Structure 1
Amino acid sequence: MEAINNFVSVVNGFVWGPVMLVLLFGTHVFLTVRTKFIQKYMFKAIKMSVTPDKEAEGDISGFGALATALAATIGTGNIVGVATAVSIGGPGAILWCWLTGLFGIATKYGEAILAIKYRVKDKNGNMVGGPMYALERGMGQKWLGVMFAVFAGIACFGIGNMTQGNSIAVMVEENLNVSPVITGIILTVATGAAILGGVKSIASVCEKLIPLMAALYIIGCVIILCINAPYIGQAFNVIFRGAFGMEQVVGGFAGGAISMAIRYGVARGLFSNEAGLGSAPIAAAAAQTRNPVHQSLVSMSGVFWDTIIVCALTGLVLVTSMLKDTTGAMEGLSGGLLTSAAFNAIPVIGPIVLTIGLITFAWSTILGWSYYGERVWIYLVGSKVIKPFRVVWTLVVFVGCVTALDLVWNIADTLNAMMAFPNLVALLGLSGVIVSETKKYLWDDNMEAWSTDEIPTVDKA
């Protein structure tokens, strides 16, 4: 098993190496240019996200689709992942993480347009969409759609289920001394109750859970930044200097390697917001929306909250805490331990907020990815898979809580990169469609217009 894990780690390092990072970030920049910097419509997008389009066709509200996508993306990557990037790549990694989110907004927008443009209905009238349908219906490349679905269908059990459950079990055992078995039972029951009702049930939970926990975490970050206020200016200075290899040492953490800052900043940004992986548009396809651009603007706001706000605040909290630390207590820490040390600035309450936040974010990721997994398996084998999938997904949560997962994490990580490839093919190959839809509804000021695209019913779906 150790030999297999080492081999998978090598493969994982290759598929998530410079080529994939350049391809993903390059797609972000390309679509930003083609959509004439769609990011400038962010405030419009945020306003639209809380304005229901009730008369439109779809299974859930636009905000419900956004909350479901955020549930799958806002997670340990925003907290632990940013800390890992800072500890390895230096404070400068934060700027590259932020820039990845800024340009990734255009990719998330493009993904949603294609998902809605090429979505279909199942025999029960439910909306189904995602990269697999864009590849099949938009490009006529069903084999690429199948490739995406296979990789996503396997990866979801690792990255979206077992690893998240394991993170919760480990954290609860360390902080509350509760057995992983007990945690697994509770988490399994809670997950089953949430997902057995399908996307409407998942969206209902996420609509309430995500805003509450995100707000609580953001408030915690703001309080710490108020405590660390004298160091904020210096933190911005070392972040910008570190991003370009001009900062040597910050708070005991090595800097100066621009390649490391870029590599880990971009990688963590991509892992955090999932722009380009092809997962989030699966939720966008279920949204009630009058035209593809309407919901795509809502969908792209998820990257704003996930990376531009949450990741940036986490990064500032870490760097200001490192600058404030004169005892060397934070030196050598990484991941969750580094973030925990920063949140200790708020006596008693700080660690509680962090623990509850991590548990809630990880659980919401399980819920969001359950929907992604279900949709891709429906694409592969039909709607008969729905009930078996939900039962298996719920049981696998327990397995994740009580199992060591290094190999599972590495395999899922590799499959995520394999998911990204066909999705990027769709984004680049159908970029003309993205531009034409944007012109038709947004640039020509027809946002209230109804789409005339026929939504076919597919028996298999």
Structure 2
Amino acid sequence: MQQLNDFLKVIDSYIGSSWWFPFALLGTGLFFTIYLKFPQIRYFRFAFNVVRGKYDKEGDEGDTSHFQALTTALSGTVGTGNIAGVALALHLGGPAALFWMVITAAIGMCTKFVEVTLSHKYREKAADGSMAGGPMYYMKNKLNMKWLAVIFAIATVLSSFGTGNMPQINSIAGAVKSTFQIEPWITGAVLSVILAFVIIGGIKRIASVTEKLVPAMAVIYFLGCFSVIFANIENVIPSIISIFSSLFTTTAATGGFLGATVMYAFNTGVGRGLFSNEAGQGSAPIAHASAKAHEPVSEGMVAILEPFIDTIIICSITGLTLLSSGAWQDKHYNDFAVTDMSVLVGTEYTDDNKEDRKALKEHLSGENPLPVFDGMLQVENGKIVSDVTVIHARSVAEEVVVNESFGGAPLTGEVEIKDGILQDASISFYGKSLVHSSPLTAIAFTKGWLGNAGQYIVSIGLLLFAFSTAISWSYYGDRAMTFLAGSGSVKYYRIVYVAGFFIAAIADTTIIWTVAAIAIALMTLPNLVGIIMLRKDMKNTINDYWSGFKKEYPDEKTPE
């Protein structure tokens, strides 16, 4: 499992986690922001009128309303990125990573506007009568680059598993296990059956479910967040200051957090920001292409609201909850994930010592690797007697107990460690370390007025958020399959999608996040290339929209 994860990380290092990927993503959004004169600001208020149907016409073609398209797209983005992803970004990059998540969203509002407008403009009616759209259709119908459209569609199918399927159920199963002690396979089995029932009904049933689910789950989640923020109100201002104070300097070590470089915080924030709002990825345009509209620009305006709601509001509130609670820098008892753990030679490393902190941070960043243990680790009654230091979740692990299995008896004997990595994944390491993803958010929610009951909001919120994401991404995948192999292929795709949903409930979390990162990049790059090539088409489409709007609504004030 570790070897597979290492192989996937190598692939990801050349694309999604490479130094140039965030610049390509933000650069494209920044280009369109300037080229189109800040549409995310100028059209922001106007977008609300479009959502409520003020300019709708009788007979507009499509399968869903503007609001349903928005909630379906939001249900595809509001998921683990808002709960687990923000916690992971903070864990990896420190408070500064939250700033870059917000900046990514602000620029991404324009990117969403462009990709949704173009995808809606060049959509088609499928053989079954439903609307089919997305970047693959403008690539084929306008750019005459079917080969690029095919690459994007294949990447969409892969990403439906790597973004909308596997990380979602894995986070749900982990949260439910830690909160309710329900085994992951049971959670996976129950939710797989419900998922199958919903997606069989197609976009109309999906939209009907998401338009009710998204507002309800947002209210529940916000109540939990504010119960923590107000309970720790004295930490709010220092938390906000910490976000900006570490923007252009190395994030200082604090508690169990060993610090992070400026570039690492930037890459982490942008990467998690994209995973959260998917701006530039080309996924949301597939949902918006189903909306009833007689022209595409209004639907593009609706899409402007997505990154604002998803990242600027929800992720910011999650980040403030994590920071004000202090849970992100504290060590907590947990079962160690093999792929998140390494064993160093020597017991002299502690995070109480300034020099050790520096050495450990450089080790984790790859600047100056420390010697790792290789051989048989000696363990007596669960206690490690060999001269080693265990690193877990980018922190020095404390009070480590080695068990024969998860929840099993303390081990006495030898444990094989190769190049610092545990070779037998059935052996359990348990102790105190930093935690990340959904378990960290669950802990933070216990630091508020609700006490231990707060973790239930995270589990319920994660379940609703992540499950709605899985629902929406099944639609993205089936539209991609329709493009690749026709409407008849969709039923087979749905079977595999539900099966993958169940399997991922019991798979390794770290590997799933790595797969998600690769899948995101494989969708994003063709989409960015496509929308840049259609920049003049986009500007002309906007101009045509406002010309027609003035004739139809001469008394309306326009934000052009």
Q: What TM-score do you get using the length of structure 1 for normalisation?
A: 0.91
Q: Deviation digits for residues 309-336 of structure 1, max 9, x if unmatched?
A: 01111111112222998x8769833222
State percent identity of aligned pairs.
40
Would you say the 8 A contact 2:152–2:523 is kept in 1? yes
Distance (Å, rounded) in 2 between the aligned partners of 1:211 and 1:194: 18
SS in structure 2 at match of 1:160 = coil
Q: How does 1:273-352 map to 2 (within 5 A)?
A: 273-322=277-326, 332-344=434-446, 345=448, 346-352=450-456
Structure 1 residues 419-428 or 389-398, which shifts more? Answer: 389-398
Distance (Å, rounded) in 2 between the aligned partners of 1:247 and 1:390: 44
Q: How does 1:6-85 map to 2 (within 5 A)?
A: 6-16=6-16, 17-40=18-41, 41-51=43-53, 53=56, 55=58, 56-85=60-89
Would you say the 8 A contact 1:251–1:331 is kept in 2? no
Match of 1:422 among 526, 536, 541: 526
Distance (Å, rounded) in 1 between the aligned partners of 2:465 and 2:529: 30
Would you say the 8 A contact 1:63–1:207 is kept in 2? yes
Distance (Å, rounded) in 1 between the aligned partners of 2:219 and 2:178: 25
Q: CA deviation at 1:22?
A: 0.8
Q: Unaligned 5+ residue runs, structure 1?
A: 450-461
Matched pairs, number = 448
Q: CA deviation at 1:78?
A: 1.1
Q: How does 1:393-432 map to 2 (within 5 A)?
A: 393-404=497-508, 406-407=510-511, 409-432=513-536
Q: Deviation digits for residues 91-113 of structure 1, max 9, x if unmatched?
A: 11111110110010000010101
Distance (Å, rounded) in 2 between the aligned partners of 1:350 and 1:213: 15
1:224 counterpart residue number: 228
Relative contact order, CA 8 A, sep 6+: which one is greater?
Answer: 1
Q: How does 1:50-449 map to 2 (within 5 A)?
A: 50-51=52-53, 53=56, 55=58, 56-245=60-249, 248-250=252-254, 253-255=257-259, 257-322=261-326, 332-344=434-446, 345=448, 346-404=450-508, 406-407=510-511, 409-442=513-546, 445-446=549-550
Q: Unaligned 5+ residue runs, structure 2?
A: 333-431, 554-560
Q: CA deviation at 1:248?
A: 2.7
Would you say the 8 A contact 2:175–2:438 is kept in 1? no
Would you say the 8 A contact 2:48–2:302 is kept in 1? yes
Distance (Å, rounded) in 2 between the aligned partners of 1:397 and 1:447: 50
Structure 1 residues 314-323 or 249-258, which shifts more? Answer: 249-258
Distance (Å, rounded) in 2 between the aligned partners of 1:157 and 1:389: 11
Distance (Å, rounded) in 2 between the aligned partners of 1:218 and 1:78: 12
Structure 1 residues 346-355 or 130-139, which shifts more? Answer: 346-355
Would you say the 8 A contact 2:275–2:520 is kept in 1? no
Structure 1 residues 91-100 or 241-250, which shifts more? Answer: 241-250
SS in structure 2 at match of 1:57 = coil
Would you say the 8 A contact 1:242–1:255 is kept in 2? no
SS in structure 2 at match of 1:287 = coil
Q: Deviation digits for residues 122-157 of structure 1, max 9, x if unmatched?
A: 133321110101111111111000011112112312
Would you say the 8 A contact 2:172–2:459 is kept in 1? no
Q: CA deviation at 1:445?
A: 4.7
Distance (Å, rounded) in 1 between the aligned partners of 2:527 and 2:309: 23
Q: Deviation digits for residues 388-447 of structure 1, max 9, x if unmatched?
A: 222332233222224446545533431321111110111111111221222222487549
Would you say the 8 A contact 2:206–2:472 is kept in 1? yes
Distance (Å, rounded) in 1 between the aligned partners of 2:512 and 2:175: 19
Distance (Å, rounded) in 2 between the aligned partners of 1:340 and 1:448: 51
Q: Which amino acid aligns with 2:276?
A: S
Distance (Å, rounded) in 2 between the aligned partners of 1:446 and 1:365: 38
Q: CA deviation at 1:12?
A: 1.0
Distance (Å, rounded) in 2 between the aligned partners of 1:242 and 1:412: 28
SS in structure 1 at match of 2:129 = coil
Would you say the 8 A contact 1:121–1:127 is kept in 2? yes
Q: Which amino acid aligns with 1:48?
A: V
Residues 150 and 22 of structure 1: is their aligned pair in 2 closer, same or farther, counting only changes over 3 Å? same
**RMSD, aligned α-carbons:** 2.3
Q: Which amino acid aligns with 1:342?
A: A
SS in structure 2 at match of 1:360 = helix
Work out which of the two has the higher radius of gyration on C-alpha atoms and give 1 or 2.
Answer: 2
Structure 1 residues 389-398 or 115-124, which shifts more? Answer: 389-398
Q: CA deviation at 1:228?
A: 2.0
Distance (Å, rounded) in 2 between the aligned partners of 1:120 and 1:405: 38
Would you say the 8 A contact 1:79–1:311 is kept in 2? yes
Higher helix share: 1
Q: CA deviation at 1:31?
A: 1.1
Q: Which amino acid aligns with 2:527?
A: N
Q: What TM-score do you get using the length of structure 2 for normalisation?
A: 0.75
Distance (Å, rounded) in 1 between the aligned partners of 2:551 and 2:61: 16
Q: Which runs of 4+ in 1 moved over 6 A?
A: 327-331
Q: Which amino acid aligns with 1:223?
A: S
Q: CA deviation at 1:43?
A: 2.5
Distance (Å, rounded) in 1 between the aligned partners of 2:310 and 2:473: 16
Would you say the 8 A contact 2:160–2:476 is kept in 1? yes
Q: Which amino acid aligns with 2:28?
A: T
Q: Which amino acid aligns with 1:229?
A: I
Higher strand share: 2
